[in-house]
Amino acid sequence: MRSSHESSPPIRKILIAGGGFMTPFIRYMAQLTGKTRPRICYLPTAMGDHPDAKLNFYGYCAPLNVEPFVQDVFIESLTQTRGWDEVLLSADAIVVSGGNTLNQQAIWRAQGIDLVLREAWERGIVLGGASAGSLCWFEEGTTDSRPKTLSVVKCLGFLPGSHSPHYDAEPGRRPLYHELVKTGYLKPGYACDNEAGLYFEGTTLKRAVAAKEGARCYYVQAIDGEVVEQVLEPERIS
């Protein structure tokens, strides 16, 4: 039995979107921190630390009562004087950019950032993002990170199963995801339209949300050799 002076373990929180992790999602993420003015870190690894991505993030944060900051990974030790743990664990929330998921995963593992992100999650720092920033938290999913065709990428595995972002925005996403889940090449999982997303506590889905009318999320699985796509009707956020 837990004694009265022991605190409960932090709630592990992940908020994702299929695409478009803009002001409504960052506002919701800020609320999930429980802080009055949360520090929100942007991790644009999948975008190669592109300056336009960073400017967009600051623009999305501008209407909000948050303290935004960016952590590049293309760094050198003369100017990057704090470790990944010192930076990322100082945040109340971490937004991961879209971009190339395969490259993102390789860089994170080479740098040990994957381990720091797991510690952040276990400490209750809210994690999230869209596209590569949503896919990265699952075991696996569909990606455009390689030449010529959509393919499969293995990711961090904080959330069980698979994921397909951009479900309504890119024509090849839905049929490929159906085929991969049907054949068992991918585990069952979640698909999200752009500007629709999912909030998890631990590994349990708590709610679906959307910042756009008509945007939806889905749970996709194979039953008796056929794909079953369950619509997860979202609550609107703004």
* Residue 5 known to be catalytic: no
Nearest to 66 by CA among 96, 97, 94, 35: 35
CA angle 126, 131, 135 (to 5 degrees): 65
Q: Backbone phi, then psi, for 136, in 5-degree steps?
A: -60, -25
DSSP state of 238: -
Q: Pick the catalytic residue from 97, 134, 145, 166.
A: 166
Residue given tokens 């990322």 in the structure block: 88
- The three state secondary structure string of 113-137 is HHHHHHHHHHHCCEEEEECHHHHCC
* Residue 131 known to be catalytic: yes
Q: Pick the catalytic residue from 131, 134, 145, 164.
A: 131
Q: How many CB atoms lie within 10 A of CB 171?
A: 9
| Amino acid at site 186 | L
Helices 51-61 and 23-33: crossing angle in degrees, nearest 10, is 70
Which token pair is 157? 């595995």
Pairing of strands 138-143, 159-164: parallel
Contact 132, 100 (CB under 8 A): yes
Catalytic residues: 131, 166
